[in-house]
Structure 1
Amino acid sequence: MKKLFPTSTAGSLPKPTWLAEPEKLWSPWKLEGKALLNGKQDALRVSLQEQTVAGIDIVSDGEQTRQHFVTTFIENLSGVDFENKKTVRIRDRYDASVPGVIGPVSRQKSVFVEDAKFLRSQTDQPIKWALPGPMTMVDTLYDDYYQDRKTLAFEFAKALNEEARELQAAGVDIIQFDEPAFNVFLDEVNDWGIEALERATEGLTCETAVHICYGYGIKANTDWKKTLGAEWRHYETTFPAIQKSSINIVSLECHNGRVPMEVLTLLKGKKIMVGAIDVATDTIETPEEVAATLREALKYADADKIYPCTNCGMAPLSREIARQKLQALAAGAEIIRRELAD
């Protein structure tokens, strides 16, 4: 029998201090050459071990081999200049120094496939691998070439699809596309965002997921959340179209936010990764708090469709806090399993 409420993370986990500066996005590597390659593999082993010990069911690489969830993929494409970075405003919230598109973008070689093969060799558990979504990629660079968001998104989708097919062949069970931009550019999501996402998943037979959160626990994001009012209803605008899409799983931010849980009814038939861990605070959730979030989700979705998860990536947290949050997630899911069994 398949386990109910299989737990997972949204993606990134903190890196060891010997690999990169802790609690920081875009943290530079502390190693180089062969030492960096070995260091990344060691960090991946550590990250896997921490997930396994914490009781996480669907494991990932913890994004140990990449500096950032979007730009690492972009930097490996042709047509992108990451020597002469430009400053852009990301998701209308904060400025960042990002690569620029200066010619036709295409994928010349695999980006994460060797890492995925390595992870697959280290575990028998189901593996989830995160890739940036096309719309979020468009929003995380400076486009000097296409000067059209939709056109660029579809070029990215083509490159993502090539990568995703190779990741599937390497033994990845779930391929997740991170689309935090889906909570910002609501009209574009329905106009072309979901279509671009489906282009990225074309021909895949493994499960596909889209992760739509309110962002990492960095100041720019937490400040933005304070402006969103008493109820965050962004999901209502896009879920009807996502529900009709071919994406199997939708990963959401549900804990400590102001998302009305009834939005889950708009995803009928989909599996839902319910974010039950707040990544924007150092406070460790109790297993009972996690269970309470899952109980609330059960009012609007079937038990076999709920996958307890973190709200977003945990790269900016300390390793100790991330570890305890993962333990709470697993323990909270176990409470609900026992309640349903009784």
Structure 2
Amino acid sequence: MVSSSVLGFPRIGAKRELKKATEAYWSGKKSVEELLKVGKEIRETNWKLQKEAGVDIIPSNDFSFYDQVLDASLLFNVIPDRYTKYDLSEIDLYFAMARGLQRQATETSKKVDVTALEMVKWFDSNYHYVRPTFSKSTEFKLTGAKPVDQYLEAKALGIETRPVLIGPVSFLYLGKADKDSLDLEPISLLDKLLPVYVELLKKLAAVGVKSVQIDEPILVLDLPEKIHGAFQKAYKYFSEQKDIPEIVVASYFGTVVPNLAAIKGLPVAGFHVDLVRAPEQLNDVAAILSDKQVLSVGVVNGRNIWKNDFAKSTKIVEAAIAKLGADRVIVATSSSLLHTPVDLDNESKLTEEVKDSFSFAKQKLYEVTVIAKKVSGKDVAAAYEANAKSIAGRANSTKINNQAVQKRTAAITDKLATRAAPFTERLKEQIPVFKLPLFPTTTIGSFPQTKEIRVTRNKFQKGAISAQQYEDFINKQIEEAIKIQEDIGLDVLVEGEASRSDMVFFFAEQLDGYQFTENGWVQSYGSRYVRAPIIYGDVSRPKPMTLRETVYAQSLTTKPVKGMLTGPVTMLRWSFPRDDLDQKTQANQISLALRDEVSDLEAAGIKVIQVDEPALREGLPLRAGAERDDYYEWAAKAFRISTSSVANKTQIHSHFCYSDLDPNHIKALDADVVSIEFSKKDDANYIAEFKNYPNHIGLGLFDIHSPRIPSTEEFIEKIGKILESYPAEKFWVNPDCGLKTRGWPETIASLTHMVEAAKYYREKYAEKK
């Protein structure tokens, strides 16, 4: 009989219970006991859902209060010294590593001022992990027993689970060296780390754990030969230990075939592979298995919300069974369901036709178990008949095809994606228009989304206030934002985005071709959840989206106000994309809609237009090759289609964050000014990579996800380090990202200090002349 398995379940709660509890704890409104209680309740609900759905292999230790990789850093004592000197409680130490901490001294505690660890994209997803930071002085040891505790917690409910651990090779490979150990290669620490893993595995076995899932997601990357050797060393070492559970090594988000040398012959119980993203790898992976190893086949999509095609998935599973036998095959989700909303049953506003196309995490439990039953010979004919009807209904839907959009997209040319002149010529025309000082200052776009803004927007959406009342309210917010920026002394202003709930959702709501959920929240990082819109059909723009607010803001000041748009690749990547149309075509459809918006803004007198692409790196295929080269070309072209209609004197900006960026890829966008998250990188080598970037750039100077307020002196020091290797005439001064999650007092203080530092360097460079 074929078993069913889930690699991980969303930990946010069906109604975002974790977000509410975590933020209440951070603000001092909930005790640590209350926070821990909410976490326990969510775990219990998740386990029971999976048990009731009939899932055979249920995960534990997939819950986290912030990030599963950060959990491992804390568990294995990968804690830089700067966090340990304050005598923080375990939970406060954890959150300090995640988001920084700044606290004044009291009679019972000392002053705390520490920045967060670096946060980067989890492979090509919109989830962000906290990068482990290693030092030559790192001393691995177990600082707790979270995997053991959560296994026992489920056991007490009568539910047997399989604990999930991030693998030792991936943990080290995804980390970085700390500032005091820049010549350290984290993988060199493997020999020191393995005994601590074994200690944990023995503790798990001692409480009854029979099998563990060890995630080694880097198996889908381009890996050097020495990393292949690290896999062989690590799992051979595990196999030599007594009294540890069986190990199933899991990969996802791509194919492991180029790294078969890393896993061939590994003495483990089996492997999991993602056959949604890379179905072609089945034959090669099956060929390297020993006679007893199992294969977990990921056929239910853990990354998207479309209903599974049972007929298609069953063929894949049956192919695996034909090669290995039913007793060696497990039907599974392709990855953790962390990346999908929790429950489609909570959606009441979708039409039945549209809703019938979707499957959220709870519904995917049903899909996994039904497919497992089918290939085990059980009668699920009614379920398969209903599924086939749903798949056919979507394919024939009139909501999907728009002939006018398809015709316009097919007519795209290279000329449409080319500015009228190169940057050097454009700059000559822009300088007399803007008359900006050296080290021009700006923000990335959004300002604090206060409770008043959220409440008023909610009233408008529910019809409790009129459109005119809402417009008057937004105008007042814009007026206040402009005044604050002028008082601070910023050079290029923004309207503040008070009318926008989310940088993707806001635009998607105004575009044809999208569908929306009420409770389709997915964790992006920590307590930051996104309600990703769904690209259901061909995309077009029926009317202007940002014109009124931007033009009104510009009417209030003589300084330039940026028009703020979200770029085509980010609109694509931060939505749930169609699975029946290639991503290049979807991006091009969106880019044409944005091109119309850019043209309208320019015609209305807006001379600076920022088209943000924070997901640009996220969309990059994980391996080098033709697919990646093609992505470089079409992603950059989609951006240029959006922006290339403007005159030379109109300045195009863009923004990127929380990724390891390639200057050549950014160069291909041909934006006049780009801003990049930098505050948590603080790496001279990273600056050097952009030294020869031809256009202007702003390296983000403070972490907008932390309540911490940098001092003027700190900004001066940071800018000084940048200027050691980066030309002053090209350098803009700005935060890491938008400020919507911050409060006004800390926002004003941080920006004031930032502007003071810019003025310091203007005076300093003026003296040199």
1:198 aligns with 2:640: yes
Q: CA offset at residue 126 of structure 1?
A: 1.2
1:15–1:48 CA distance, 2 compared to 1 (3 A)? farther
Match of 1:104 among 538, 553, 557: 538
Q: Which has the higher contact order (CA 8 A, sep 6+)?
A: 1
TM-score, normalised relative to structure 1: 0.85
Residue 213 in 1 paired to residue 645 in 2?
Answer: no
Distance 2:522 2:708 in 1: 32
Letter in 2 for 1:261: I
The TM-score with structure 2 as length reference comes to 0.39
Equivalent position SS for 1:315: coil
After TM superposition, give the deviation of residue 44 of structure 1 in Å.
0.8
The size of the alignment, in residue pairs, is 315
Match of 2:617?
183
Distance 2:668 2:721 in 1: 24
1:11 aligned to which of 445, 457, 460: 445
- Could you tell me which runs of 5 or more consecutive residues in structure 2 were left unpaired when the two chains were aligned: 1-434, 622-627
In structure 1, the partner of 2:214 is none
CA offset digits 1:165-217 (Å, max 9, x no partner): 11112222221121111232334552421111111112112111120012xxx
Shift of 1:3: 1.1
Of residues 302-311 and 289-298 in structure 1, the stretch that sits farther from structure 2 once superposed is 289-298
Deviation at 1:257, TM superposition (A): 2.7
Q: Partner of 1:240 in structure 2?
A: 664
Pairing of 1:264-303 with structure 2 (within 5 A): 264-267=690-693, 269-303=694-728
Aligned to 2:730: 305
Q: 2:564: which partner in 1?
A: 130
Distance 1:266 1:192, change over 3 A: farther
| Equivalent pair of 1:98/1:140 in contact (CA under 8 Å) | yes
1:333 corresponds, among 740, 751, 758, to: 758
Residue of structure 1 equivalent to 2:497:
63
Aligned twin of 1:256: 680
Paired residues of 2:563 and 2:609 also in contact (CA < 8 A): yes
Question: Would you say the 8 A contact 1:211–1:250 is kept in 2?
Answer: yes
Q: How does 1:36-185 map to 2 (within 5 A)?
A: 36-82=470-516, 86=520, 96-144=530-578, 146-185=580-619
In structure 1, list runs of 5 or more residues that go unmatched: 22-26, 215-231
Aligned residue identity for 1:61 = E
Between stretches 186-195 and 281-290, larger displacement belongs to 186-195
Q: CA deviation at 1:28?
A: 5.2
Q: CA deviation at 1:68?
A: 1.1
* Structure with the higher fraction of residues in strand conformation: 1
User: Compared with structure 1, are the counterparts of its residues 127 and 90 closer, same or farther at alpha carbon in structure 2 (3 Å cutoff)?
Assistant: same
Cα distance per residue 1:51-103 (max 9 Å; x no partner)? 11111110001112211111101110111122577566769x98643322222
8 A contact 2:449–2:741 mirrored in 1: no
AA partner of residue 301 (structure 1): Y
Cα separation, partners in 2 of 1:87 and 1:148, compared to 1, 3 Å: farther
Return the alpha-carbon distance in structure 2 between the equivalents of residues 41 and 94 of structure 1. 27
Structure 2 Cα separation of the partners of residues 131 and 17 of structure 1: 24
Q: Structure 1 residues 274 and 94, CA, compared in 2 at 3 Å: closer, same or farther?
A: closer
Q: Letter of the aligned partner of 2:640 in structure 1?
A: E
Q: CA deviation at 1:158?
A: 0.5
After superposing the two structures, state which structure 1 stretch, 279-288 or 154-163, moved more.
279-288
After superposition, the Cα gap between the structure-2 partners of 1:145 and 1:107, relative to the gap in structure 1 and judged at 3 Å, is farther
- Letter of the structure 1 residue corresponding to residue 600 of structure 2: E
What code does the residue aligned with 1:57 have?
D
Residue 721 of structure 2 aligns to a residue in which SS?
Answer: helix
1:59/1:126 contact within 8 Å kept: yes
SS at match of 1:130: strand
Shift of 1:291: 1.8
SS in 1 for 2:478: helix
Distance verdict in 2 for CA 1:286–1:340, change over 3 Å: same
With over 3 angstroms needed to count, the CA separation of the structure-2 counterparts of 1:289 and 1:175, relative to structure 1, is: same
Q: Match for 2:760: what amino acid?
A: I
Are the equivalent residues in 1 in contact too, given 2:457–2:470 (CA < 8 A)?
Answer: no
Q: CA deviation at 1:30?
A: 4.5
Does the Cα contact within 8 Å between 2:478 and 2:495 map onto a contact in 1? yes
Larger radius of gyration: 2
8 Å CA contact 2:574, 2:615 repeated in 1 = no
Instruction: In structure 2, give the amino acid aligned to 1:179.
Output: E
3-state SS of paired residue (2:691): helix
Paired with 2:715 and 2:736, the residues of 1 have a C-alpha distance of 12
For the 8 Å contact 1:251–1:272, the answer to whether it is kept is: yes
* Map of 2:458 onto structure 1: 29
CA contact (8 A) 1:90 1:139 kept: no
Query: Among the aligned pairs, what percent are the same residue?
Result: 25
Measured at CA, do residues 144 and 85 of structure 1 come closer, stay the same or move farther in structure 2, by a change above 3 Å?
A: farther
Partner SS state of residue 437, structure 2: coil
Helix, strand or coil at the partner of 1:338: helix
Contact 2:481 2:495 (C-alpha < 8 Å) held by counterparts: yes
Q: Which residue of 2 aligns with 1:223?
A: none
Distance 1:146 1:95, change over 3 A: farther
Structure 2 partner of 1:227 = none
- Paired amino acid for 1:29: N
2:482–2:493 contact (8 Å) kept in structure 1: yes
Using the TM superposition, give the Cα deviation of residue 155 of structure 1 relative to its aligned residue in structure 2, in angstroms. 0.5
In structure 2, relative to structure 1, the CA distance for the partners of 1:146 and 1:17 (3 Å cut) is same
Paired with 1:59 and 1:182, the residues of 2 have a C-alpha distance of: 24
Per mean C-alpha deviation after superposition, the further-off stretch among 175-184 and 101-110 is: 175-184
Shift in Å at residue 15 of structure 1?
A: 3.2
CA distance in 2, matches of 1:125, 1:210: 19
Report the counterpart of residue 749 of structure 2 in structure 1.
324
Secondary structure, counterpart of 2:516 in structure 1: strand
RMSD of the TM alignment (CA)? Answer: 2.4
Find the aligned partners of 1:86 and 1:54 in 2 and give their Cα distance: 38
